[in-house]
Amino acid sequence: MAKSSFISKIYNSGPLLLLYYLCISEVDSNLEKMFEIFTLNFQIILIYFWVLKRPEIMANGHVFIAGLINDVVMGFPLGISSLSYLIIIFVGTYVRNKSVNTTIASDWFTFFMAMVFSNILFFSLLNNFSELSFTLNKIGYNMFFTLFMFPIFWLLFNIYQMTFIGNRDA
Amino acid sequence: MSVIRDDFSIAFRSALLQRGGAQKFSVLSLIFLALVIFFLDVYGIKFTKPVRGLINDVVYRVTYLASTPTRFFPQVNEDLSSFFNVKAENERLKAEIEKYKSLELNVEFLTDENKNLQKILETEYFNKNLSNIVLAKVLVDKNSPFLKSIIINKGTRAGILKGMPVTKDNYLVGRVVETNYLSSRVLLLNDLNSRIPVTLDEGAQAILSGSGLNKPILEYLPEDYEILEEINVFASGKDGIFSPGTPIGKTNGAGEVMLFVDPNQLSFVTVNLSVQTKGNL
A131 touches chain B (CB under 8 A): yes
Residue B154 has pLDDT above 80, yes or no: yes
Question: Rounded CA gap, A66 and A29, in Å?
Answer: 15
DSSP state of B132: G
- How deeply is A155 buried, as exposed, middle or buried, from its count of CB atoms within 10 A (0-12, 13-18, 19+)? exposed
Question: What is the least distance, in Å, from the CA of A64 to any CA of chain B?
Answer: 7
Q: Which of A:94-123 have CB within 8 Å of B?
A: 94, 97-98
Q: Which of A:11-50 have CB within 8 Å of B?
A: 21, 24-28, 30, 32-33, 36, 39
Mean pLDDT value of segment B146-170: 87
Q: Name the band, by pLDDT with cuts 50, 70 and 90, for residue A39.
A: confident
Nearest residue of A to residue B65, measured between CA atoms: A25
- Looking at per-residue pLDDT, the higher value among A83 and A36 belongs to A83
CB A57 within 8 A of CB B22: yes
A9 touches chain B (CB under 8 A): no
Question: What is the least distance, in Å, from the CA of A156 to any CA of chain B?
Answer: 22
Residue A156 has pLDDT above 90, yes or no: yes
Question: What is the least distance, in Å, from the CA of A157 to any CA of chain B?
Answer: 20
Residue from the list B30, B59, B185 with its beta carbon closest to the beta carbon of A60:
B30
Nearest residue of B to residue A121, measured between CA atoms: B35
Sequence spans of domains, chain B: 85-120, 134-272
The predicted structure's pLDDT at residue B22: 67
Mean pLDDT value of segment B38-48: 82
Q: Where are the alpha helices (DSSP H) in A54-135?
A: 60-74, 80-98, 104-129
Residue from the list B15, B21, B22 with its beta carbon closest to the beta carbon of A93:
B15
Say whether A82 and B30 touch across the interface (CB within 8 A). Answer: yes
Dihedral over Cα of B210, A141, B63, B51: its sign: positive
DSSP state of A7: H
In 3D space, the residue among B191, B133, B151 whose CA is nearest the CA of residue B64 turns out to be: B151
The predicted structure's pLDDT at residue A45: 93
Q: Which of A:43-72 have CB within 8 Å of B?
A: 55-57, 59-61, 64, 67-69, 72
Residue B128 has pLDDT above 60, yes or no: no
What's the pLDDT tens digit per position in B186-201? 999 888 888 888 888 7
Q: What percent of chain A has pLDDT over 70?
A: 89
Q: Name the band, by pLDDT with cuts 50, 70 and 90, for residue A134.
A: confident
What secondary structure, in 3-state letters, does B1-58 show? CHHHHHHHHHHHHHHHHCCECCECCCHHHHHHHHHHHHHHHHCCCCCHHHHHHHHHHH
What's the pLDDT tens digit per position in A44-93? 999 999 998 888 888 889 999 999 999 998 888 889 999 999 999 999 98
| Neighbouring residues of B18: CB distance < 8 A, sequence distance ≥ 6 | A93, B26, B27
A79 touches chain B (CB under 8 A): yes
Residue B117 has pLDDT above 80, yes or no: no
What's the pLDDT tens digit per position in B51-97? 888 888 888 888 888 877 777 776 776 777 777 778 888 888 888 88
What's the pLDDT tens digit per position in B219-258? 888 887 877 788 888 888 777 777 788 888 888 877 788 8
Residue B142 has pLDDT above 80, yes or no: no
Please name the helix (run of DSSP H) or strand (run of DSSP E) that holds residue A48, with its range, or none: helix A42-53
Say whether B25 and A90 touch across the interface (CB within 8 A). Answer: no
Nearest residue of B to residue A73, measured between CA atoms: B60
A80 touches chain B (CB under 8 A): yes
User: Largest Cα–Cα distance in chain A?
Assistant: 55
Please name the helix (run of DSSP H) or strand (run of DSSP E) that holds residue B171, with its range, or none: strand B171-179
The predicted structure's pLDDT at residue B69: 78
Q: What percent of chain B has pLDDT over 70?
A: 88
Q: Name the band, by pLDDT with cuts 50, 70 and 90, for residue B279.
A: very low
**CATH superfamily, with its number, for domain B134-272:** Rod shape-determining protein MreC, domain 1 (2.40.10.340)
User: What integer best gives the mean pLDDT of chain B?
Assistant: 80
**Phi, psi angles (nearest 5°) of residue A169:** -70, 160
- Chosen for mutation from A48, A73, A119 (greatest number of chain B CBs closer than 10 Å) is A73
Sequence spans of domains, chain A: 40-165
CB B123 within 8 A of CB B244: yes
For residue A77, the SS3 value is: coil
The predicted structure's pLDDT at residue A68: 92
The predicted structure's pLDDT at residue B280: 43
Question: Rounded CA gap, B243 and B77, in Å?
Answer: 38
Q: Where are the alpha helices (DSSP H) in B43-188?
A: 48-66, 68-84, 86-120
Q: What percent of chain B has pLDDT over 90?
A: 5
Q: Name the band, by pLDDT with cuts 50, 70 and 90, for residue A33.
A: low
- Looking at per-residue pLDDT, the higher value among B32 and A38 belongs to B32
- Looking at per-residue pLDDT, the higher value among A104 and B214 belongs to A104
